[in-house]
Structure 1
């Protein structure tokens, strides 16, 4: 009898630990992407027909499963850090000997986080307390949804071998502009090279989802990177391209910028290229030109995480929270997907009501969360992110 009970417990545990982790969207996947089709655009406009231009879309989350990617926004954030091909660009930031070379590496790593956008399909809005924990080599990444209304995500990543610490807090304001949606991302992004005793503060670009006259998603705006300890900074400008430029195939994803001394403004490097192809840096003293980034080497043929340790997977793991919905979307079983999405949302609403009835506030498990007016800040509760039960590769 005890043996039968153990079997049932094992089956329940296996069901509870069911995960669905999909492959990251890679550079080569764009060739097969059909998400800008007219039926998608019509569906989007039908959802936005009563929304006025300039309106805040933060709470506009009731998308049908047909307009969802089979992944949570937390996974999208995490992929920017742990999902890459070829060289470990994050670790390279600390390996460089000269301060100027380290800043160039930080610039290169920032460019590598720019990924193609799937137009017309949105990731799931994470539930409160949802987590995503993945390791790739020496890089360990932990994300947590620390607020649901408004949606705020926190990320902590550490590089075990190179003693690097990265913290993000991300919250955004999507606004409907008539022919496009503008998503302004806010929150601190801080990269610390602990061995070098250097801190790099980084800004975030905007995301533009355009419907007319040509549909597509593009990164735009400015990225500024500053290191007070070395008196060096970089400024990058992303160009999403005008309608006519996109028709001609010109500068759709161009990037231009510079590396300078903060105090004097003296320009040391000129940066130019395309973030989905190659980016170059010209030394202003020697006029030498180096390729500092090759997108094909870094964001092609990306692999999904695999389960390394089933027992250590948290119940809050994103790939488990949304597994039923993701399977429904992948199999195009829209009725199953609709029920699964409703079940997750209802469970979250019930948890919120129970906390409210008990007079309790939700507390983040992995971050100290501070809200100051409309601004948010998050500090990791642990100095190092532990090895994750989901991995891309083992450390060398």
Structure 2
């Protein structure tokens, strides 16, 4: 039985059924974050704090149920996908076009930074239901014809798999990750387990890329920021990069403060970790520079305004081709209600989706069936991290596309 069949069987009228089948696509998170600003209530900070009054420090928040008033009108699958297919520049294609291994590694670092989108305090995407998918393609003007497919391959724990390939046959990206948010009394820290594996096929190079964690501070000043260390490793070239997303940048005389959006790092040979080739410094929401220590030359490695400053919203190109499990369909009625600020309808629709998914899981368990992902294989390695591998070598073009942007390159 398809996910959409399960959801529409629970609506009470033709109007509700039509709403449940709607494909709702909303603007991606960019530097401005305008979508959340439109939904933000005046007393947001106090309302967020009230959510955690009865939550014990150390609690796992992976399945914490948020009221619809705290939801962005999109699923976590869509947020992960947007970090790959929504960009003002063809950063993945640039990785494949790098003239040497050092330049290619630097381009991979720039792409990795581009997936860091501005987090928004007080808002979170929907927790994806098991089997939910998200399938989007870019046009040739944005990302070189990149096809991206995501699937929620596990619910407890939550694990999302992503597979992306380009039309030129030069790039293949596999991204398997599982967020692990925990409440620590004054903050929520969300570590992201799993890694991204980017293959540049023409150069026979594979890059393993980590992710920063997300810190949500409740006291003394509510805020969201990316933090932690990220490694980018290419075994074939022997090159490695280490990045640090800083919680605070030291100000004059060494006191804390400054800007929480700084990123610093370096590129070096893995066999000679003390010998730095390039230094990386800047702000992931502005510019990041790269300084070549051999020549002293400083160049712009990443420009956030060009990469994520003005992003196009995906559109439906082939409605009949949209899968019943597509995120924009599964949560369509909820998102529609949130955009209209009809919170009662949003909460009811959200409860239908979640209750139906729970009933589906119970019926499967009663029959003794084991869930099998449709597009990926799933396993857990010795260190406890999840590994996902696509069942197909390439991703087909999607019925949902990202229009070309005038700033694409």
TM-score normalised according to structure 1 size: 0.91
SS at match of 1:365: coil
Aligned match of 1:255 in 256, 260, 263? 263
CA contact (8 A) 1:17 1:313 kept: no
User: Structure 1's 172 and 116: CA in aligned 2 closer, same or farther, altered over 3 A?
Assistant: same
Cα distance in structure 2, aligned partners of 1:214 and 1:352: 40
SS at match of 1:237: strand
Q: Which has the larger displacement, 22-31 or 163-172?
A: 22-31
CA contact (8 A) 2:288 2:300 kept: yes
User: Structure 1's 53 and 36: CA in aligned 2 closer, same or farther, altered over 3 A?
Assistant: farther
Whether 1:273 and 2:275 are equivalent positions in the alignment is no
Question: In the alignment, what sits opposite 2:97?
Answer: 95
TM-score normalised according to structure 2 size: 0.88
Offset at residue 28 of structure 1 (A): 2.2
SS at match of 1:355: helix
Post-superposition Cα deviations, 1:191-233, rounded to whole Å, max 9, x if no partner, equal 1111110010111111001111111110001110000100100
SS at match of 1:46: helix
Aligned match of 1:315 in 321, 324, 328? 324
Post-superposition Cα deviations, 1:123-159, rounded to whole Å, max 9, x if no partner, equal 0000000000001131111010011111111111112
Offset at residue 48 of structure 1 (A): 1.2
Cα distance in structure 2, aligned partners of 1:377 and 1:71: 25
Question: In the alignment, what sits opposite 2:68?
Answer: 65
Post-superposition Cα deviations, 1:290-320, rounded to whole Å, max 9, x if no partner, equal 0111101111121111011111100000000
Offset at residue 52 of structure 1 (A): 2.0
CA contact (8 A) 2:19 2:333 kept: no
Whether 1:42 and 2:46 are equivalent positions in the alignment is yes
User: Structure 1's 110 and 290: CA in aligned 2 closer, same or farther, altered over 3 A?
Assistant: same
Offset at residue 324 of structure 1 (A): 0.5
Cα distance in structure 1, aligned partners of 2:307 and 2:168: 20
Cα distance in structure 1, aligned partners of 2:131 and 2:53: 32
Whether 1:84 and 2:87 are equivalent positions in the alignment is yes
Whether 1:379 and 2:383 are equivalent positions in the alignment is no
Question: In the alignment, what sits opposite 1:180?
Answer: 187
CA contact (8 A) 2:62 2:180 kept: yes
SS at match of 2:355: helix
Question: In the alignment, what sits opposite 1:160?
Answer: 167
Question: In the alignment, what sits opposite 2:242?
Answer: 235
Aligned match of 1:118 in 120, 126, 131? 120
Q: Which runs of 5+ in 2 are unaligned?
A: 1-14, 140-144
User: Structure 1's 303 and 34: CA in aligned 2 closer, same or farther, altered over 3 A?
Assistant: closer
SS at match of 2:202: coil
CA contact (8 A) 2:137 2:401 kept: yes
SS at match of 1:195: helix
Question: In the alignment, what sits opposite 1:33?
Answer: 37
How many residue pairs get aligned? The number is 383
Whether 1:104 and 2:106 are equivalent positions in the alignment is yes
Q: Which has the larger displacement, 251-260 or 379-388?
A: 251-260
CA contact (8 A) 2:130 2:155 kept: yes
Offset at residue 357 of structure 1 (A): 1.8
Aligned match of 2:377 in 368, 374, 377? 368
SS at match of 1:41: helix
Offset at residue 30 of structure 1 (A): 6.0
CA contact (8 A) 2:247 2:261 kept: yes
CA contact (8 A) 2:175 2:195 kept: yes
User: Structure 1's 96 and 129: CA in aligned 2 closer, same or farther, altered over 3 A?
Assistant: same
Q: Which has the larger displacement, 165-174 or 316-325?
A: 165-174
Whether 1:328 and 2:337 are equivalent positions in the alignment is yes
Post-superposition Cα deviations, 1:94-114, rounded to whole Å, max 9, x if no partner, equal 111211110011011111111
User: Structure 1's 390 and 13: CA in aligned 2 closer, same or farther, altered over 3 A?
Assistant: farther
Whether 1:197 and 2:201 are equivalent positions in the alignment is no
Question: In the alignment, what sits opposite 1:340?
Answer: 349
Cα distance in structure 2, aligned partners of 1:355 and 1:185: 29
Q: Which runs of 5+ in 1 are unaligned?
A: 1-10
Cα distance in structure 2, aligned partners of 1:378 and 1:133: 17
CA contact (8 A) 1:135 1:393 kept: no
Question: In the alignment, what sits opposite 2:4?
Answer: none
User: Structure 1's 75 and 360: CA in aligned 2 closer, same or farther, altered over 3 A?
Assistant: same
Question: In the alignment, what sits opposite 2:6?
Answer: none
